[in-house]
Amino acid sequence: MRTAYYISDGTAITAEVFGHALLSLFTLEFKHITIPFVETVEQAQQVINKIAVSFQDDQQRPLVFYTIVNVEVRKIVAKSVGINYNFLDQFVAPLEKVLGIPSKPEKHRTHSIHEKTYDIRIEAVNYALANDDGSNLKDYNEADIVLVGVSRSGKTPTSLYLALQYGIKAANYPFTEDDMGDVLKMPPALKHFKGKLFGLTIEAERLHQIRSERRANSRYASLAQCRLELREVENLYRKEKIPFLNSTYFSIEEISAKILAQTGLQRRKY
């Protein structure tokens, strides 16, 4: 198995994102190693020694994806026995030419407490936690979006991801068995915020599986109950013209991206 390194003098998140995106195009298994905060010559030398050991062990040159601002450190990492990909070299020079100004590289600018959207994202995360599961309806006027759906359809993790990744204030409200009655109607608490609602649904079999992991052999987890609740919420979505998404086959990242695409919500973090 070939090893892939992601190296940076910062968090290495950028190197990871670029590297993983490229490697996802290939149907191969990789051993992934991330090394952040390589900020000194000594640390850089330790890194290339580690890469050399991987080469000896695997008998294949490791793939090395790196974003390093410090020129001296970058030159050392570039000498590794791996197959080296410097993302900054690939893109910065062409951009300087197009924009007509030189770049001003600076460590920790992208992913640090000094990054200008940091406070916005932290505030959004706090909001998502305080408004999880319909616990604080009085603050819905501050919400950018209110996710609705049955229990375990992905509302909470999606709310938190939207907050942390994009600085979006996302509340969420669960439709429970108590809401169903003869037919599910729009809860009075949500009527005023109808324009902010976005529904999540999921296939009954998948919901049954997820709920069974929490409450095995319960009515809550039964396939019949899952089908009933999903039928009711999807009928409500259609009746009230609430946009919705089936989350069954999507990751949290994909669900969030699809929500942004459908709603046109403004990201506060890129």
CATH code of 233's domain: 3.40.50
Please check whether residues 52 and 156 belong to one and the same domain. Answer: no
Please check whether residues 143 and 61 belong to one and the same domain. Answer: no
Does residue 160 belong to any structural domain of this protein? yes
Please check whether residues 128 and 27 belong to one and the same domain. Answer: no
CA distances to 123, 161, 170, 200, 241 from 259, in Å: 20, 12, 11, 10, 15
* Higher pLDDT, residue 88 or 148: 148
User: What pLDDT was estimated at residue 248?
Assistant: 95
Does residue 67 belong to any structural domain of this protein? yes
Place of tokens 């902010």: 196
Condensed to tens digits (0 to 9), the pLDDT of residues 145-198 reads: 999 999 999 999 999 999 998 999 999 999 987 777 677 889 888 999 999 999
Please check whether residues 92 and 156 belong to one and the same domain. Answer: no
- CA torsion sign for 136, 215, 158, 240 is negative
* Higher pLDDT, residue 126 or 13: 126
Domain boundary among 50, 68, 99: 99
Name which of 12-16, 104-108, 122-126 the model is least confident about.
Answer: 104-108
Mean pLDDT of 20-49: 95
User: What pLDDT was estimated at residue 31?
Assistant: 95
**Residue 209 pLDDT > 60:** yes
Please check whether residues 179 and 66 belong to one and the same domain. Answer: no
Condensed to tens digits (0 to 9), the pLDDT of residues 118-156 reads: 788 899 999 999 999 988 888 999 999 999 999 999 999
Does residue 186 belong to any structural domain of this protein? yes
Please check whether residues 209 and 84 belong to one and the same domain. Answer: no
Does residue 113 belong to any structural domain of this protein? no
**Residue 10 pLDDT > 90:** no
Q: How far apart are CA 185 and CA 194, in angstroms?
A: 13
Please check whether residues 249 and 135 belong to one and the same domain. Answer: yes
Condensed to tens digits (0 to 9), the pLDDT of residues 238-267 reads: 999 999 999 999 999 999 999 999 999 988
**Residue 42 pLDDT > 70:** yes
Residue 190's nearest CA partner among 249, 253, 131, 126 is: 131
Does residue 8 belong to any structural domain of this protein? yes
Domain boundary among 68, 99, 130: 99
Does residue 143 belong to any structural domain of this protein? yes
Does residue 139 belong to any structural domain of this protein? yes
Please check whether residues 46 and 152 belong to one and the same domain. Answer: no
Domain boundary among 99, 128, 158: 99
**Residue 103 pLDDT > 80:** no
User: What pLDDT was estimated at residue 114?
Assistant: 53
Q: 59: number of CA atoms within 13 Å, CB side?
A: 0
* Total domains in the fold of the chain: 2
Condensed to tens digits (0 to 9), the pLDDT of residues 43-84 reads: 999 999 999 999 999 999 999 999 998 889 999 999 999 999
Residue 198 in 3-state DSSP? strand
User: What pLDDT was estimated at residue 37?
Assistant: 92
Partnered with residue 197 across adjacent β-strands are: 146
Q: Which domain holds residue 68?
A: 2-99
Please check whether residues 157 and 66 belong to one and the same domain. Answer: no
Please check whether residues 130 and 202 belong to one and the same domain. Answer: yes
